[in-house]
Each structure stands twice: as C-alpha cells, then as structure tokens.
Structure 1
Amino acid sequence: MAFEERCSFSHAPFISSNAQRQHFSSGIIAYLERLSHPFTRSYGRLSSVRRRFLQADVFGERPYQGNALAVVVDAEGLTTAEMQAFAHWTNLAETTFLLSPTHAEADYRVRIFTPTEELPFAGHPTLGSASAWLTTQSRIKAGADIVQECEVGLVEIRHRDDVFSFKAPPLMRSGAADHQVVAEAAEALAIHRSSIIDAEWIDNGPGWLGLLLRSADEVLALKSPTTHLSLGVAGAHPPGSPFAYEVR
C-alpha cells in the first residue's frame, strides 16, 4: 500500500507541501513526493482549522496502481456537510475521516464518504484507513490486530507480515438477484444475458450486485457501464494460470 501525504486542508480544502520522501520499515507504506504547489477551494463560510490527510493506493505496492483513497487523519470537529463537501472535492471513489472511538474496544472510528453520500462500510476504505491510522500513531499498538468502529459496528482488522485483512461484517442484503435486475446488468455491461452464470446481492455497505461471468477474458473485455447499479464482476482464469479470478 502506498501513501502520498497531502498535508493539510482548512475545512475548505487547502493543500500545501514540500518534497519529501520517507519510507517506513513495514515495507508496504511509502510516503511519496508531496504536492509542490498549494491551492485552495472554498465551500461557503468554513472555519480555517488545518487538517492533515493522506492519499493512499490500496491494493497497490507502488503509486497510481491501486484503489485511490483519501484519509483525513484528524477529523474531529468536522460536520457531516464539511466531510461530504471534501469528499466531493477529492472526487475519489471514497474518502474517509478518522475520529476518536466511542466504543471501548475500538482503536478509532471512521466515517466513509463517496463524492455524493456516506457509506456504512466499504472494503478498501477499511484497509486504507487502518493502515493510515497505524502509520500516523505516535505509539505502536500492542498486539497486531486493530478494531475499527464504523456505522455497521466494530470491524476486526488483522495486520500480519505487512498485509492487512479484515473480518467482513454481516451482509445487509444477500441472495439471488431477480431476472429483471440481471437483465438490466447485462444490458449495462453490453453483454448477452447468457454470459452471466450467477448473480447475487453481496451488500455490506456499498450495495454491490456480484456477477460471475463465464471466463476471465469476458471480464477483461468489459467496458465501464453507465448504470445506477453497483456492479462487481468476476470470471475464472483457466487452470494453471497465475491467478484464479479476474475481478472488476
């Protein structure tokens, strides 16, 4: 996981930085060159408390090769409207805000926003937020596990050998999708209905509809759909391939 430190914003986002490279012993987190020029953008009358934030590449060992995530590491005092405005400004799939926990067993609390709404839970924001929290602590947490508090409750996160993983919370919605929804998904992906061999709701926050296609090649051939559905698509690689599945 790679981090770019984009060091502050003043509720209305303000970014300033000096070029600095810093590597951590974990081997998976690297701070990259900070932005060389500050800029500002305002959303109405917001107070000018500077907030440190990081931009992460989750599922990537090098910059620009993972799932992008912005993490505001000191979000105390921000309103929901300010969080949503900043998430809208970053224009990333998700932006997270780290807060003091309200549960005795939690290490931190997180709120997760897309550019348009708040999510109760999401996977790569959980991993990125845990890594950012651990990286920015002035003390080392005793033990390897981390407990995140979010809208769905407490999420256990394991940190072993520079790899983060979490125990998925219970699904909010599961089961087979009906024929009409599957047909809509096929149309959005511009594929024949017969290419979808299974379709299940796998909603633990973002509201995913999971689709299994006949092969990894069919997944690789997909174009980005325009649809209100949140689609996750997978297809198996042939036996003996370096990877088992291709996922989008």
Structure 2
Amino acid sequence: MKFISWNVNGIRACVKKGFLDYFKEMDADFFCIQETKCQAGQIELLLEGYHQYWNYAEKKGYSGTAIFTKHKPLAVKYGIGEEESESEGRIITLEYDSFYLVNVYVPNAQRDLARLPKRLLWEDQLLHYLKELDGLKPVIYCGDLNVAHETIDLKNPKTNIGNSGFTYEERGKMTKLLHSGFTDTFRHFNPDKVDAFTWWSYMNKVRERNIGWRIDYFIVSDRLVDYVRDTDIHAHILGSDHCPILLEIDL
C-alpha cells in the first residue's frame, strides 16, 4: 500500500499550484494532508474512487487535516479530546482490520515559544493515545510534526538550538515517542542521509539552496518496520512550503 503525507499550507492555494496533478500521478491508497485552511463547502475535490474525511478548524483559514483513501475504514475518529486544540482540526484516525492510520498536524510552539507548555502537554496526550491504539493494532502515524528531531534533520542546527521546532523539550518528546515502540521510517532506512528536508522558509532563495528542516514524518509501530518497502521525500514537488513524503508498506 502507498501512503502520502503533505502539509499543503492551504489546499485551495495548493490546488492552483498542481496538487491534483501530483495526486493523480501518485495514485496512493492513502493521501493525508495537513493545514488545509478551509471550511466545509469552500472547496470541492472530485477524487474518483476515494473516500474523503475532513477535520475542519473552527477558525477560518487555519489548521485542519484531511485523508483521502481508496479503502473505506471500519471507523473514523476526529480529534482525541485534546482540550486546547480539538477545535483546530488537527487529528484524524482511521481504523482498519489490521492497523490504525493517524494523520496529525502538531501545534507549533510559536516563535517566542509562548505555546511551548501547551505543546508539550499535547505531546503527552497524543503519545498516550498512540500507545493505547498500539496495544490493539499496529499504528501508522504521519503528518507535520513540527519538530526536527536530531541535528541531521535541519541545515543549521547550531544557530537554531532553542528555537521553535528545535527546542530540547520538543526533541525530547520525539525521543520518548520513538522509545515507546515506534520507528521513524525515513531515518531508520536512511540513518546518515544529510540534506533531506521537508520544509523550507519562504525567504528568498532558501529552498533553492536547500536550507531546510525535516519536520514531516511517517512513524510506525516497531512491528511494522519489516513490512516497509520504501520511504522517500519528494522535495521536487512544489505547491507548498512543505513537500510530500512517501511510505510504501505491505499490509
């Protein structure tokens, strides 16, 4: 099965920049997007053969997630009861016979780290939820996780230590997750690969010079790792400040 995850930074804008061409080219079983920035009825995507599941934010033009899939799930869950951000449409879970798919747009700690304490609490709630699911069936967890885990995961680690997305606290939460029965698929298969990024600032020439961060992930239950067939970053695909990522796995 083929999975794609992409923070589209506004699905309406991304559609105008070639989203549907890429969508058709990939012909994925599951296409997960984050930061949809739209409300119900603001866009109609005609995706033949796909079921569509949207979790809209209450605030207009903000956050939001969606999953497009060829496979009808047993159940769909929106959010996990997270008090601070459930209204922001950040989590969708699809349940299948043999696995759960969890698509997430993790809250940003903000430039001044004002949201960091709430972000860390949110991470604890999400980890508890993922571990509960993992106790029932294996989990595929994907999305914009808003953290570069290790120094290899961003271009300029020294000058970014302590900045949003690269604080010791946020990185520590990722480490805790990966020590709780989960694997970062890209880094597992590419332990030493440098300059592999999924997000670039819109500042002039930053993307052209590949001054980026890897903050988008496919993370799976450890017992699924042997079934992973491919994992990749499609940095050549434009349309957003993030690029799509790929996971192919036998399920």
The structure richer in strand per residue is: 1
TM over 0.5: no
Query: Structure 2 length normalisation: TM-score?
Result: 0.29
Q: Which has the larger radius of gyration?
A: 1
Give the alignment's TM-score, normalised by structure 1: 0.29
Bigger helix fraction: 2
Query: Which has the higher relative contact order, 1 or 2, with Cα contacts under 8 A spaced 6 or more apart?
Result: 2
